[in-house]
Structure 1
């Protein structure tokens, strides 16, 4: 009797453990976010934790890249395209219990566009002339000029709605309106999310989630194989994907991202276009894709995603041609050139950087490689512009407009390009927008602003029973709102 009872209790405990596991998930990430405030940081890892999970905007990205209502359930646009009237959802509260209303929308947008704004995508809000509160659930945003991208801009992670009561501590104790709220952040290890019982919308199947930070690709492989991680959407060791593919315990999530991976060039240091052109022709893209990404990736010749219908294939303009590269360097008198190459932690950058350095050395350019942690890269390269070359993937959606910002870290300052982006914002006809986007892509390729390498593939692996993870990455996010476990 005693033995049977003990077995029964053990079985009940095991069953309870199994049931609990079906409403929680552990997600692997290679990079830890430097903070948890998407309105005050440029790192993609921030949005990978908080987008749609903790924070929400007026609109939001869906898995297929389309834009859907978010905290705004609907909106109307004036005939002149200048005034957007947003109808907010009623009964929405922040995680601290305070109401989310039109005043919070005004606060968020005014803060993002303020002169002293630290928003990494401040340019998204530059066209806003005024934000007017009509009533608690209605807000009007007045633009200085029509902007065909405005509704899409409001879906970016940088445009989430925050509250004045909690914004001062958002970096470490974020308070949003999403279906999950912060449980705890054990820095250097993990972020734990728990359900928000007062969420205004449909409740996710998951009750909790843990984002576990594993920077080493070998450790990521071991953690997946051991079952310590349930899913690794941005899996950092593509060379081992074949092992997961052959194992019925797992599923592969292979798709596309918005990540243009570039050999970014400081245009105020590498000022001679002949040198930049030589760098472009010294690069063998396929060798980088094969060596750093094990074949996962699509070559690009400008800063635009190949899956976008307005993409222009300009790879031939900077085709691998080491003889041309050598001739251009000789013509420019740059026969004894050494450039710094500062690399952030992702494996595409570290592995790709070694290959790029060898390719540049073959045409006569030496590089001094510095492997930086993410915070160092943000401080030295992105903010301080203290670099010659770096490799990074720009994962923001449709972000060709960053080249119209002379202060941006690669410091490309061309009035003609800036005028194109003004025209793009004013254009509402699809054909006209396509024409402008084609001209913009060609101008970047003609000026050899950066070395354009490849479009980053979405290489993920997950437990075979998990459903609802995004296979593609239309924005930088691990949206858990539709994730569940199969029975």
Structure 2
């Protein structure tokens, strides 16, 4: 009897251990598949959603609350004139292939990002760098052309992660980083699998492995969550079903904010859209709340410029482009555009596809016809973002505090205003918080005055997860599914 009891206890123990081991795995749902896995060579948010803080790391990083904390750099100092940053690296950091990560890799990564031939989607983050020097294997010094109080913030972006020259060529398909997880397999069109990096230099994650499952259809996403095929969907594409999950104790609904300014982007250099009156007319034809209710089921905050409402420097300029269809018609008449027809390219996200249909109807009500084309992300990136072959498109810009993109003359909506470029140049050289705040407010006002784009809403972060999962980000200070603090609880 005693032996039998021991055997029974051992069996229970083995079952319990197996159960606990199973809870070290997680399946994360994603609406979009990344086009590649190199955040330094692609603009798609889905890249960072897989690799940021999981596979790749930078000198600094975003914490869940949006603050900037140490990453590969354990500390840094800035000179009195604000032009020289000295970063001290963590000791004992290795890449996934076992090679050491040191100051030479930092120099290589920053020099590559700022090089003339760089394909980095956020190359502007690095243009202020004049020189990168290796002081010793664990110390790197970055000299800037002018003071930049936002430099640690810039180094936290996914576009600023550190890669090794030996493996950078394969980063798009076989990324080798320093993060707590490493790539196991990418089954195109289906999933990406990662596993815990047992040689990680920092605190080991609770998860042993994770699978990112690509499910673009909202109905399929709902079914996958209900069936348990997916454990969490941090950016759930079917907000109309959130109430059902909220009422079910097996799940929890997590609603937070993002850095995603969702806009009706206009090609400022395309025919009639070069006229500010036409752009203004379009903005007054937009009923933001109707789009938020119809496409996002009430989730989203109206915006009147390219700035997040949760940012302390936000200016509410929604009234300046308030819904006023009669004013819209008047402006079109003044511009001589009473029979206007424009192309509207809609990428895959539901906010774009659903919102685009509503917006097309709103434009039709003021006399603007649209030719809608639904495009996949690869086509959108090639045709719209790179080729600038479009009139209108709907997209959410999820990069943090990125109003500086309006200073880029080659950016896809082609604003190219010298006064705005000068304003951003002054902002970059300013370190005083109050002065920076004033400049940021002026920047918001300028692009609103020029009706560069139709500013729609701040994208909400609506997520669904198994109730036993803890550590998923509530808010999204950057475009990431950071799994470093995620774990299962009983």
TM-score by length of 2: 0.97
Counterpart in the other structure of 2:196: 195
**Following superposition, which runs of at least 4 residues in structure 1 exceed 4 angstroms of deviation?**
6-17
- Quote the Cα distance in structure 2 between the aligned partners of 1:28 and 1:21: 18
Counterpart in the other structure of 2:355: 352
- Give the superposition deviation at 1:148: 1.6
- Give the superposition deviation at 1:203: 0.3
Corresponding residue SS for 1:338: strand
Q: Deviation per CA, 1:5-24, whole angstroms, max 9, x where unpaired?
A: x9999977764552222111
Give the number of aligned pairs.
485
- Quote the Cα distance in structure 1 between the aligned partners of 2:254 and 2:233: 9
Q: Deviation per CA, 1:430-465, whole angstroms, max 9, x where unpaired?
A: 111111011100000000000000000000000000
Q: CA RMSD in A?
A: 1.6
Q: Deviation per CA, 1:51-108, whole angstroms, max 9, x where unpaired?
A: 0000000000000000000000001111111110000011100000110000000000
Q: Deviation per CA, 1:247-281, whole angstroms, max 9, x where unpaired?
A: 00000110000000000000001101110000000
Determine whether 1:472 maps to 2:461: no
1:68-79 matches, cutoff 5 A: 68-79=69-80
- Quote the Cα distance in structure 2 between the aligned partners of 1:264 and 1:16: 53
Structure 2: runs of 5 or more not aligned: none
Counterpart in the other structure of 1:440: 443
Determine whether 1:306 maps to 2:306: no
Counterpart in the other structure of 1:231: 232
Corresponding residue SS for 1:283: coil
- Give the superposition deviation at 1:406: 0.7
- Quote the Cα distance in structure 1 between the aligned partners of 2:140 and 2:30: 37
Distance 1:11 1:345, change over 3 A: farther
Corresponding residue SS for 2:274: coil
Counterpart in the other structure of 1:48: 49
- Give the superposition deviation at 1:367: 0.4
Structure 1: runs of 5 or more not aligned: none
Aligned with 2:430 (options 414, 427, 430): 427
1:65-464 matches, cutoff 5 A: 65-269=66-270, 270-464=273-467
- Quote the Cα distance in structure 2 between the aligned partners of 1:359 and 1:13: 62
- Give the superposition deviation at 1:427: 1.1
- Quote the Cα distance in structure 2 between the aligned partners of 1:210 and 1:172: 16
- Give the superposition deviation at 1:422: 0.8
Corresponding residue SS for 1:292: helix
Q: Deviation per CA, 1:227-250, whole angstroms, max 9, x where unpaired?
A: 000000000000000000000000
- Quote the Cα distance in structure 2 between the aligned partners of 1:443 and 1:186: 45
- Quote the Cα distance in structure 2 between the aligned partners of 1:93 and 1:455: 38
- Quote the Cα distance in structure 2 between the aligned partners of 1:274 and 1:25: 51
Counterpart in the other structure of 1:28: 29
- Quote the Cα distance in structure 2 between the aligned partners of 1:363 and 1:17: 63
TM-score by length of 1: 0.98
- Quote the Cα distance in structure 1 between the aligned partners of 2:15 and 2:334: 73
